Amino acid sequence: MTATQGIIELKDIGQWYVDEKGQKTVVIEDFNLMVENVPKRGQFICLLGPSGCGKSTVLRYIAGLQKPSEGQVLLYGKPRKEEDHVGMVFQQYSSFPWLTVLDNVTLALEIKGVPRKQRREQAMAYIQACDLEKHAEKYAQYPILSGGQLQRVAIARSLVSNPNLLLMDEPFGALDVNTRLRMQEMLMTIWERLWHINTATTIVFVTHDIPEAVYLGTDIYIMQANPGKIVHHIAIDLPFDKTRQVKRDPRFVQYVYGIEDKMMALSQQKGVAVSG
């Protein structure tokens, strides 16, 4: 892989649905996104946009859970193949509650075809990266594990299936404010730990929370709805190994209000509600 090659490319994507009366509704049109592979570090892409604009649909294309009505989905410069593994973390906890944390993570390795002998060691490396080693033998269910811990199990499972690419669809939306803030920091720490073991992970993260996007993201893309497409790209020029203190930085505050203004302008143009 070279620095300029796209890790994800979505080209000229269109998505429509035809209802039982034969009425066609176009939900995504002329959607183009190129996420470059940044060696050693990866990128943190945040996708913002009004409800229904197609954010989850875009993640589903990358995860291979849905094909667009038209256009191309490329991973590492090649058309996406059935066997490409890309993990996704959802708002709702998605681990298997009848399995332990360790078994949830080793199962992801088994699905990927990793030989039995190597599974435990590899699984423990990611469990450690997600600060879960004390909980490895516990069942992955609420309330044995808290909401934040369960989301970390989901992150570990997704990372073992493909450590270079992680998709997250409003992963902290169901958490209380404190847990959410701690999870943001945790995610930054996991991301940094991955660089230290020479794994560049590119994260595509959907959120309605503008400060969360500015805190986590290296790049923010804003989508409009009806039809869904990208209308703004904001490269975030803040230190990428930032701490929570950066939220007091005037540049941080400027990004947040700048994005809020853009999203308000979009909702006024379109006459639709914007969350976040």
Ligand X SMILES: Nc1ncnc2c1ncn2[C@@H]1O[C@H](COP(=O)(O)OP(=O)(O)OP(=O)(O)O)[C@@H](O)[C@H]1O
Residues near ligand X, by CB under 6 A: 17, 27, 49, 51-57
Per CB under 5 A, contacts with Mg ion among 54-93 are 56
The span from the CA of 63 to the CA of 57, in Å, is 10
Residue 58 CB, nearest distance to ligand X (Å)? 7
Residue 69 CB, nearest distance to ligand X (Å)? 11
DSSP state string for 22-41:
--EEEEEEEEEEEEE--TTT
Q: For residues 223, 157, 128 and 91, what is the CA-based torsion angle, rounded to 10 degrees?
A: 40
Q: At residue 268, what is the residue type?
A: Q
Cβ burial, residue 237 (10 Å; 0-12/13-18/19+): exposed
Residue number, 163 or 228, with CB nearest to ligand X = 228
Residue 148 CB, nearest distance to ligand X (Å)? 21
Residue nearest to Mg ion (CB): 56
Residue 28 CB, nearest distance to ligand X (Å)? 7
The span from the CA of 86 to the CA of 62, in Å, is 7
Candidate ranges 48-56, 72-80, 178-186, 211-219; the one touching Mg ion (CB under 5 A): 48-56
Residue 15 binds to Mg ion (criterion: CB under 5 A): no
Partner interacting with residue 27 (select from ligand X, Mg ion, none; CB below 5-8 Å by kind): ligand X
Q: What is the C-alpha radius of gyration for the chain, rounded to an integer number of angstroms?
A: 19
Partner interacting with residue 32 (select from Mg ion, ligand X, none; CB below 5-8 Å by kind): none
Partner interacting with residue 151 (select from Mg ion, ligand X, none; CB below 5-8 Å by kind): none
Residue 176 CB, nearest distance to ligand X (Å)? 20
Residue 118 CB, nearest distance to ligand X (Å)? 36
Residue number, 54 or 87, with CB nearest to ligand X = 54
Candidate ranges 3-11, 50-58, 64-72, 121-129; the one touching Mg ion (CB under 5 A): 50-58
Residue 270 CB, nearest distance to Mg ion (Å)? 17
- Sheet with 70-75, strands from edge to edge, namely 24-36, 6-18, 70-75, 78-79
**Residue 156 and residue 133 in contact, taking contact as beta carbons nearer than 8 Å:** no
Partner interacting with residue 52 (select from Mg ion, ligand X, none; CB below 5-8 Å by kind): ligand X
Residue number, 5 or 51, with CB nearest to ligand X = 51
Beta bridge partners of 74: 9, 79
Partner interacting with residue 54 (select from ligand X, Mg ion, none; CB below 5-8 Å by kind): ligand X
Q: What residue ranges bind Mg ion (CB under 5 A)?
A: 56
